[in-house]
Chains A and B, each alone.
Chain A
Amino acid sequence: MEPPVAAPPERDQPHWFGRYGTAVLFLLPAAFVLGLWIVYPTGYTVARSFFGRQGFGDFVGIDNYKSIFTTHLLVKAIENSAIWILVAPALVTAIGLVFAVLTERIRWAVAFKTAVFMPMAISLFATGVIWHVMYIKDPQQGAVNAAIGAVRGWFTSSGVLQDAQPSSSAITGTTATGFTLNKPLAAGDTAELGLTGIPPDAVPASAKQAVQPQPAQGAIAGVVWRDFSPGGGTPGKVEKGELGIPGAKVALVDSSGKQVQSVKAGDDGSFTFPNVTGSGYKAKVAASTFAAPFGGVSWLGSQLITPSIIIAYIWVWAGFAMVVIGAGLAAISREVLEAARTDGATEWQVFRRITVPMLAPVISVVFITMLINVLKVFDIVISIAPGSTQSDAAVIAVQMWRQSFGGVNDFGLGSAIAVFLFVLVVPVLLLNVRRFRREV
């Protein structure tokens, strides 16, 4: 391909330069840079893609292209890019549209737009670092998991203990089923639920010396405690130095197996089931006492890594979609909308039947822009994905870099991947050219 300079016909040089010389001088620097840095490399890369790793002496035909669709890592990258293409542009556009429409109804639209638009200024690489910190698995460190853990905590509480065993054969069960006292109980009885196998530092800090329960009229009193003191002690007996288990959940089950009461043990491990009549009851340390705390969703693991990165990407680009669509929205005639409302159209009907169709050109510009952008996504992927899941997260542009420069150094294959990427944007290229032709 020639550099884009109008080549002068040789014979009418004097006339020609007099007329067009200035134009040529104005265009020359751009022609030089575009020609050398974009046009020539495009031709070079296309040619290079038919040669192997060794260079231009190593003609391999279309083998490099075959490799793209047969090498496991590259197929995975194409799959990931397909997910990106299907999900990201649509979500960014939809979210931008919703934000643009909603911000028209608030008085602090400028502040909102600034907040949502701000990530556009941050590099995709730094965005990756930001979200890597957000996505850390441990809910103590990763904010996303901390938030999920907090919401989860409103519905289910995690137990006070992780591990325990019955301290004697008077009790049966496991942490998964709960621990049941074998002896049937009647009103006025006491229940001693001794547990061992609890690491000392696992006992809640508020624990106090356990207290031997006293029988009470019309009630069943009891204690849940760590039935172990240094030097052994007697299993099944509350002794000095043995701590209660505060917060342990104890359930009272009647003879038909139905739970009738449930209480939490105090700091000294004591509990009481009041208003008990009759007999045949069983006392049980409920399994929820040992429910594991929320360990965190593995956002950066191989399963979720691509959706996680797409969320971060949406965080960056939603502002772009919002602003561009918002500008289109401002250009829509208010009268049309108001007329529809006066005629009794609901807000949803106005949105669906008037706003969206009138915005269609702007929406398609945003969508196409995002489509091209998504194909080239690179920085954010390599900075969010930890080393262990980089190949699970890799997209076409990442593999282009990896195969060419990131250790593999196969320029033939790298060129073929670049050409593949280029072919994917050609329809957009033709669309742009057609749009320009129509304008002129």
Chain B
Amino acid sequence: MAAYTEAEAVPVVRDPNETVGAKIGRGVTRLPINVFLLAVGVLWLVPTIGLFFTSLLSAENYTLNGWWKVIAHPHLATWANYSNVWHNTDIPHALLITAEIAIGGTVLPILIASLAGYAFAWLDFPGRDWLFVVVIALLVVPLQMALIPIFSLYNTAHLYDTVFGLILFHCAFGLPFAIFLLRNFFIGIPKDILESARIDGASEWRIFFRLILPLGLPAIASLAIFQFLWTWNDLLVALVMARNTQPITVDIFSQLRQFGSNIDIIAPASFMSLIIPLGVFFAFQRYFVQGLLAGSVK
């Protein structure tokens, strides 16, 4: 499927001889669409903004005021919640663990998948297509299938409650998609480049590191963002495979039981948990979209 870029967005066809009247006419018919989409766009932003404003209300102000009152009464807002969360809770530690899991859970599967993707794309071995079908089949296996056996395995292998154990789990369930995506990208690399490198006597390893990885960078980038967001945002795996090594989602989850009374911790902590993924998203939106389009079979 074609990758999405803004440049590819097709311009609206306009008749250069269009009269002023026709232009106004088109503007008028477009007006309801503009108004409707503006309303939808605002509506879509409200919940996130709402969480942010909620996170600025002190606990006592929260029970008295809706978060939207902050707009009219900015004096209700305070950074005290953030300061409290930062200094008096284990949220900063949880953020650090989240970062470790997300980075490890991104780098490791991409490394492994690049190797496998290259083999599937350009190396000749018996059963290649058959094995790739297996990878495609693994793409939709729900991770629930692995929770119980891996939980037991981790307990015996001392991987329970470790960052490394969580990274390996995320690595495994990110792999089928990563291999699928990278194989499909690598196969599009012009054959001539590889052939001439082989004729020049370059080893497969050299070709892989010197040619394939640099050329595959766009695909690797979109995959990295995808995998990073996926591991950063995980709740279920960490909930099952860890007790004290808590990423931020699990940490906040343990506070949810007293939603009303803990809102001055839950709201700022939740907002802190989504700032980094949101930043990654805004910085690399295009790669993210490309990854989605290339692999919307997951």
> Which chain A residues have a beta carbon within 8 Å of chain B's beta carbons?
4-6, 19-20, 22-24, 26-27, 29-31, 33-34, 36-42, 44-45, 48, 99, 102-106, 109-112, 114-126, 129-134, 140-143, 146, 315, 320, 323-324, 326-328, 330-331, 334, 338, 362, 365-366, 368-369, 372, 375-376, 378-379, 382-383, 386-387, 397, 400-401, 404-405, 411, 414-415, 417-419, 421-422, 425, 428-429, 432-433, 436-437, 440
Contacts and interface: CB of A to CB of B under 8 A. Distances in A.
A122 B138 contact: no
Contacts of B62: 141
Interface of B: 1-4, 6, 8-10, 12-13, 30, 33-34, 36-37, 40-41, 44-48, 50-51, 54, 62-68, 109, 111-113, 115-116, 118-119, 123-127, 129, 131-151, 168-169, 171-173, 175-176, 179, 204-205, 208, 229, 232-236, 239-240, 249, 252-253, 256-257, 259, 263, 266-267, 270-271, 273-274, 277-278, 280-282, 285, 288-289, 292-293, 296-298
Contacts of B259: 132, 386
B141 A38 contact: yes
Task: Give the 9 A-B CB pairs with smallest separation, nearest first.
Answer: A37-B172, A123-B233, A121-B281, A30-B116, A26-B119, A41-B146, A44-B149, A41-B149, A23-B125
A432 B57 CA distance: 49
A387 B132 CA distance: 44
A129 B47 contact: no
A41 B168 CA distance: 14
Give the most central of A103, A119, A129, A379: most B CB within 10 Å.
Answer: A129
A303 to B, nearest CB: 19
Nearest to B138: A38
A365 B296 contact: yes
A34 B8 contact: no
B119 A23 contact: yes
Nearest to A378: B236
B47 A315 contact: yes
16 contacts: A30-B112, A33-B172, A34-B172, A37-B169, A44-B149, A45-B146, A119-B48, A120-B288, A121-B277, A130-B50, A134-B46, A143-B66, A382-B253, A425-B142, A428-B140, A429-B141
Give the most central of A31, A126, A376, A428: most B CB within 10 Å.
Answer: A126
B149 A118 contact: no
A376 B144 contact: yes
B196 to A, nearest CB: 19
A421 B142 contact: yes
Given A24-B125, A404-B148, A432-B140, 19 more contacts: A20-B124, A22-B123, A30-B179, A44-B149, A112-B41, A116-B44, A120-B288, A122-B274, A125-B252, A125-B253, A140-B66, A334-B10, A365-B297, A369-B296, A369-B298, A379-B233, A387-B257, A411-B148, A425-B140
A422 B66 contact: no
A120 B278 CA distance: 9
A419 B6 CA distance: 42
A311 to B, nearest CB: 10
A37 B146 CA distance: 7
A289 B203 CA distance: 88
B73 to A, nearest CB: 14
Given A6-B131, A112-B41, A126 B274 contact: yes
B66 A130 contact: no
B123 A30 contact: no
Contacts of A437: 133
Nearest to B184: A439
Contact of A121 (B67, B145, B173, B229): B229
B277 A379 contact: no
A304 B245 CA distance: 35
Given A22-B204, A37-B172, A122 B146 contact: no
A378 B119 contact: no
